[in-house]
Amino acid sequence: MHAVPGEPAQVSAPAPAALAWRADALIVSLVSSGHLLSHFFQLLLVPLFPWLRAEFALSYAELGFIISVLFVCSALAQAVAGFIVDRYGARVTLCAGLACLAAGALVCAASDGFAGLLLGAVLVGLGNAVFHPVDFWLINHGVSEPRLGPAYSLHGVSGSLGWALAPLFMVGIASAAGWRVALIAAASLPLGLVALIVCYREVLATADVRAPRLPGARLGLEFLRLPAVWLCFAFFFFIALALGGVQSFAPTVFMQDYSLGRASAASSITCYMLASALGMLVGGWWVGRSPRLELNITLALALSAAAALMVASTFFPATLALGLMAAMGFGSGLSGPSRDMLIRAATPPGATGRVYGVVYSGLDAGIAVGPVGFGKMIDHGFAAEIFYAIAACLLVSVVVAARVIKHPRDGARTQLPQS
């Protein structure tokens, strides 16, 4: 548009499509940043174990117990967090979770022994509990339908980045300035994100406006009667069993059965995680072009299961076996966006927070149970064989996902009872 002499120039308003894209990008950026911090804080204390052990003369059992408390608190509080999201909305709950993360880091920084570290771990666990119900509330209700697949992809990749960044950040600062300074620096990260959320609160408010509100609906437990909710819980439980086995014992398998050194064996996890992140990115593109969720999940997890079976056979050379670990990770990541769309389809109106809180508790449960069972297998001389069990868990997940597909509309049609 040309300006008329003597008149002020007129600026064309952005097109609605451009405004929608910017809002979606901002929501995904804020949600993914929170997810990154969630995973970052899961490893907040682990890189500091050498400093904490020397400072307080703690045993490895005591340090491990602190981490166990963190995850138990997160698992127990996650379902409760879902109710809070449904009642008060995502922004308030997200800020409360971020505040708990910061408070936990500061309590640990000021601690003078085991009890202080334990209290800090409890606070971090409570903060960590809010992110899955909050994140998927904001994505499902705030992001445009055509961009849901990429949103799920970026959300998943951000968690992997959080795991990768935590050791670098914490060890780097602790080595230069001490472990207490490292914890104080970590506490500043969630507080900074709270400030951004306050600045962009109007954009995040769109999710609360779009979320279904049933007049007078009670925030009760009626949704737990839906078969799809428990099938999704079981799906995550078996997926997490497999993930727990890979994360905990893949290096042991490569040392014992493939005769690799410690550093080379540890690279099996690196291959898996990097390929998983790539799979998540591809999965976000794929789910937008292939809406048959059960087919997507079946193909992706079948790839992972086949790779696990080949690793278990110990027939292949170590280099190729590491490539098979990458194939496992790629298949797992590839299934992620379709998996998240599956849960969305199974969620009844007005219960997004509660459903995601309960369903993702299955993830915590599986990660807690898996290493115990797989560890016993290795103790009895069955190292590579754990990959047979991992493949079985993945195949069970495929069967469960197919069952969810038969029930999602049951959840979508269910109306929460009126008060």
| Per-residue tokens: 198 | 């306050």
291 phi and psi, to 5 degrees? -75, -5
pLDDT of residue 193: 95
Domains and CATH numbers, the chain: 18-210 (1.20.1250.20), 222-413 (1.20.1250.20)
For the segment 293-327, what is each residue's pLDDT rounded down to a tens digit? 778 889 999 999 999 999 999 899 999 999 999 99
pTM of the model: 0.74
Torsion angle, alpha carbons of 80, 84, 89, 95, to 10: -80
For the cut 60, the answer to whether the pLDDT of residue 135 exceeds it is yes
- Which residue blocks in 219-316 are alpha helix, DSSP H? 227-256, 262-289, 293-313
- pLDDT computed for residue 413 by the predictor: 41
284 vs 282, which has greater pLDDT?
A: 282
CA angle 333, 378, 273 (to 5 degrees): 20
Candidates 345, 321, 148; CA nearest to 251 is: 321
Collapsing DSSP to helix, strand or coil, 217 comes out as strand
Least confident of 77-91, 117-131, 202-216, 348-362: 202-216
Summarize the confidence of residues 405-418 as an average pLDDT. 47
CB 38 within 8 A of CB 125: no
| Rounded distance between C-alpha atoms, residue 179 and residue 185, angstroms | 10
Question: Which among 182, 52, 38 has a CA at the least distance from the CA of 105?
Answer: 182
Contact 390, 326 (CB under 8 A): no
Site of tokens 């079946």: 298
The pLDDT tens digits of the residues spanning 185-213 come to 999 999 999 999 888 877 777 655 555 55
Tell me, rounded to whole angstroms, the distance of Cα 150 from its chain centroid. Answer: 15
Q: Does residue 137 come out as left (phi exceeding 0), alpha (psi in the -120 to 50 range) or beta? A: alpha
Where is pLDDT greater, at 132 or 410?
132
Between residues 106 and 290, which one has the greater pLDDT? 106
Distance of CA 213 to the CA centre of its chain: 27
352 pLDDT band, cuts 50/70/90, is: confident
What are the structure tokens assigned to 411, written together?
A: 């959840």
- Pair 382, 181: CB distance under 8 Å: no
b/e code 345-365 from CB counts within 10 Å (16+ = b): bbbbbbbbbbbbbbbbbbbbb
Distance from chain centroid for Cα 295 = 23
pLDDT at 389 over 50: yes
What's the CA gap between 106 and 103, in Å, rounded?
A: 5
Element (H, E) at 146: none
Neighbours of 46 (CB within 10 A): 16
User: What is the distance between the alpha carbons of residues 202 and 221, in angstroms, rounded to a whole number?
Assistant: 31
Select the highest-mean-pLDDT range: 137-141, 370-374, 409-413: 137-141
pLDDT of residue 414: 39
Query: By C-alpha distance, which of 226, 224, 239 is closest to 401?
Result: 239
